[in-house]
Amino acid sequence: MAKRIAIIGLGLIGGSIGLALKQTELERTEVVGYVRRPEAANRVLKLGAVDIIKDSMAATVDKADLIILATPVMAIKEILTQIGPHLPHGCTVTDTASTKVKVMQWAQEYLPPTVNFIGGHPMAGKELTGIEAAEANLFQGRTYCLTPGQNASPASIQLVVGLVSEIGANHLFTTALEHDNFVAGVSHLPFVLSSALVLTTTQSPFWAKMSSFAATGYRDLTRLASQHPRMNYDICLTNRENVLNWIDEFIKELNRFRRLIAEDSQELENAFIQARQARQAWLEKHDKKD
Amino acid sequence: MAKRIAIIGLGLIGGSIGLALKQTELERTEVVGYVRRPEAANRVLKLGAVDIIKDSMAATVDKADLIILATPVMAIKEILTQIGPHLPHGCTVTDTASTKVKVMQWAQEYLPPTVNFIGGHPMAGKELTGIEAAEANLFQGRTYCLTPGQNASPASIQLVVGLVSEIGANHLFTTALEHDNFVAGVSHLPFVLSSALVLTTTQSPFWAKMSSFAATGYRDLTRLASQHPRMNYDICLTNRENVLNWIDEFIKELNRFRRLIAEDSQELENAFIQARQARQAWLEKHDKKD
């Protein structure tokens, strides 16, 4: 494992990585943190998410073997340009953003060639945000996507694979292109649907009375609308084409359902049967529980 | 409370009502059940969901004060015509279907005028179906909609309100027209979206690889696709106009999101902020937890 790990950004994800690392009792690893707002430093230290907080990014990455960027995706470009000149020779940098193509481009462009970059995306989250919501077991059993940069050394890849394993997650190698297409379908399209469902219903003139009829189904379907708005926005900006494509595919399918309902078609029952079976197959294959 | 309660249909809902009633230890109330398939009778009795199973609907409703129809909605019309002639004078009949306008019309048309009909819809459910999935606390704290027929006596309404209370639910009076419109927005639209999302993703040529990237967000958003396909189909058939209207409203809103994403509009972040706040307000007002 690394001797010094730097975490830049200590919200839900960065804070949870810190807490998970602390739990593994890596006695020889020092975890150094940086937070944009100084007033957050005390809370981070009180929770024990890092050993020490530095007051500049340059000081944070100093002598670090492994640097983890756990900020919103749109902040990464700026951070890369800022830390670039201060990064130790041969160190490894990874991030935790939900989209990877842009991040890999920025890393290629702004990091010195002696630095290893491995894109990362822990597929874990919850509605609450910020360091207060951080928890050591957030990544337990979750998939953690890795997209190694073209110049990343085998040792640097191993270092990040080790980090993923230490915090309890399962690594999954992928390309940035595949990653962004796939998560647009299974994660980004869903949060757009959740948000659109909330606005469709809550802006209806019936909502004042109708809201009493909303139950657990509505709660589940709208859960992703409670994700951090800035994160959702950044994802859409950095993965626009994929998100638009999946929205278009979805509208086609929804219009098919609309037609089957309008026509009282027996095909409609088959569509529901097929959807149920396909979901069941996914749950079973990936050992998920409802 | 009623001296004799008859439950026709002992799947998830009917079975859970039976189990909940048994738990309240109503010593003077006998619960009589009817199941369409004789082979289900043993399981129902073994679970203790009813005191006795009768082999005909006529025998089941005999001397019953309160008759609960807990079958799929499309079966209700046929059952009403069959039990009509055998119903005790002045008894009370209720149902548990997810749509109410059609049920109220059928009750008006096929039940003798001496019978009190009160439409019912327990807003509870889960992905599993059948008597095996039944549980006594399924209705605990849930909303239970009631749509009294125009000739229902105050005493008969009180009887059904008492039933709802005995099984731990909270009754909510509404009209059948309002009910069907409102639940189309907060329950039926959501299960159509869930099913369409499952088919959009699982029928993609990428699915074999992409399925590994689907995580808890995908699981939550697709949960309603695991509801009973026949139930979903029946709901669409009996609530077609409302479901189509809500699909149309949703597509308008989704197209607005599509446009904001395509234009990189700052408005997009506001839409996500608004959706998150509106959901939060709903959670707080109705004391729901994520």
Residue A221 burial class via C-beta count within 10 angstroms: exposed 0-12, middle 13-18, buried 19 and up: buried
Best mutation target among B147, B179, B197 (most A Cβ atoms within 10 Å) is B197
Instruction: Compute the mean pLDDT over every residue in chain A, rounded to the nearest whole number.
Output: 94
Residue A118 has pLDDT above 70, yes or no: yes
Residue closest to A186 by CA, chosen among B125, B25, B197: B197
Structure tokens of A194?
């959740």
Distance (Å, whole) CA B38 – CA B117? 27
pLDDT score for A286: 85
Q: Inter-chain contact B288–A142, Cβ cutoff 8 Å?
A: no
Nearest chain B Cα distance for residue A141, angstroms: 11
Q: Look at residue A125 in the predicted model and tell me its pLDDT.
A: 72
Query: Looking at residues A2-18, what average pLDDT do you find?
Result: 95
Name which of A185, A210, A275 is nearest B185 (Cβ-Cβ): A210
Closest CA to A12 of A226, A238, A288: A226
pLDDT at A115 over 90: yes
Residue B278 to residue A127, Cβ atoms within 8 A: no
| Token couple for A172 | 């999954």
pLDDT at A96: 97
- pLDDT value at residue A25: 67
- The distance from CA B50 to its chain's CA centroid, rounded to whole angstroms, is 20
Phi (first) and psi of residue A229, to 5 degrees: -55, -40
Which residues 118-177 of A have a C-beta within 8 angstroms of B? 123-125, 127, 142-143, 145, 172, 174
User: Inter-chain contact A218–B186, Cβ cutoff 8 Å?
Assistant: yes
Q: Which of residues 59-98 of A touch B (CB under 8 A)?
A: none
Query: Under an 8 A CB cutoff, do A189 and B209 touch?
Result: no
Among the partner residues B198, B218, B237, nearest to A187 by beta-carbon distance: B218
Which residues does A80 contact at the CB level (< 8 Å), separation at least 6? Answer: A69, A106, A107, A110, A111
Structure tokens at B4: 């004799």
User: What pLDDT, on a 0 to 100 scale, did the predictor assign at position A280?
Assistant: 96
- Residue A149's H or E segment, with its range, is none
ipTM of the complex: 0.91
Q: Does A245 touch chain B (CB under 8 A)?
A: no
CB within 8 Å: B273 and A127: no
Over residues A157-184, the pLDDT tens digits come to: 999 999 999 999 999 999 999 999 999 9
| B258 chain-A contacts, CB cut-off 8 A | 244, 247-248
pLDDT greater than 80 at residue A51:
yes
* Residue A121's pLDDT band (cuts 50, 70, 90): very high
Residue A94 tokens read as 């990874």
Yes or no: is domain B178-285 CATH 2.60.34.10? Answer: no
Q: State the DSSP string of chain B.
A: --SEEEEE--SHHHHHHHHHHHHTT-TT-EEEEE-SSGGGHHHHHHHTS-SEE-SSHHHHHTT-SEEEE-S-HHHHHHHHHHHGGGSPTT-EEEE--S--HHHHHHHHHHS-TTSEEEEEEE----S--SGGG--TTTTTT-EEEEEE-TT--HHHHHHHHHHHHHTT-EEEE--HHHHHHHHIIIIIHHHHHHHHHHHHHHTSTTHHHHGGG--HHHHHHHGGGGS-HHHHHHHHHHTHHHHHHHHHHHHHHHHHHHHHHHTT-THHHHHHHHHHHHHHHHHHHTT---
Residues of A in contact with B73 (CB under 8 A): none
Chain A contact set for B236 (CB, 8 A): 261, 268
From CA A187, how far away is CA A165, in angstroms rounded?
A: 23
Architecture per CATH, domain A4-174, reads as 3-Layer(aba) Sandwich (3.40)
Question: Cα-flanking dihedrals φ and ψ of residue A149, to 5°?
Answer: -65, 160
Q: Do A215 and B249 touch (CB under 8 A)?
A: no
Q: Are A10 and A50 in contact (CB under 8 A)?
A: yes
Residues forming beta bridges with residue A66, ordered by sequence position: A5, A92
What does the pLDDT read at residue B25? 67
Hey, is the C-beta of B246 within 8 angstroms of any chain A C-beta? yes
Residues of A in contact with B147 (CB under 8 A): none
Nearest-CB residue to A225 (from B191, B210, B276): B276
Alpha helices in A122-203 (DSSP H): 154-166, 176-183, 189-202
pLDDT tens digit sequence for A71-110: 989 999 999 999 999 999 999 999 999 999 999 999 999 9
| Residue A266 buriedness (CB in 10 A; 0-12 / 13-18 / 19+) | exposed
Q: Which positions in chain B touch A235 (Cβ < 8 Å)? A: none
Domain spans, chain A: 4-174, 178-285
pLDDT at A242: 98
Cα dihedral sign, A95-A101-A103-A108: positive
pLDDT value, residue B150 = 93
Query: Which residues on A lie below 8 Å from B256 (Cβ)?
Result: 196
C-alpha distance from residue B240 to each of A15, A109, B185, B253 (Å):
48, 55, 12, 20
Cα angle A234-A83-B266, degrees, rounded to a multiple of 5? 20
Of B104 and A37, the one with more pLDDT:
B104
Tokens of A236: 């859409």
- CA–CA min distance B104, chain A (Å): 19
Question: What's the pLDDT tens digit per position in A212-244?
Answer: 999 999 999 999 999 989 999 999 999 999 999
For the record, the structure tokens of B260 come out as 């904001």
Six-digit token string for A41: 């430093």
> What's this model's pTM, rounded to 2 decimal places?
0.91
Q: Distance between CA atoms of B96 and A207, rounded to whole angstroms? A: 24
Does B190 sit within 8 Å of A218, measured CB to CB?
A: yes
Contact call for A220 and B225, based on CB within 8 A: no
- For residue B71, the distance in angstroms to the closest alpha carbon of chain A comes to 17
pLDDT at A134: 93
Minimum CA–CA partner of A214 in chain B = B186
Low-confidence ranges of chain B (pLDDT < 50): none
Using an 8 Å Cβ cutoff, are A19 and A134 in contact?
yes
Quick check: B280 and A247 CB within 8 A?
A: no
Integer Cα distance of B130 and B202 in angstroms: 26
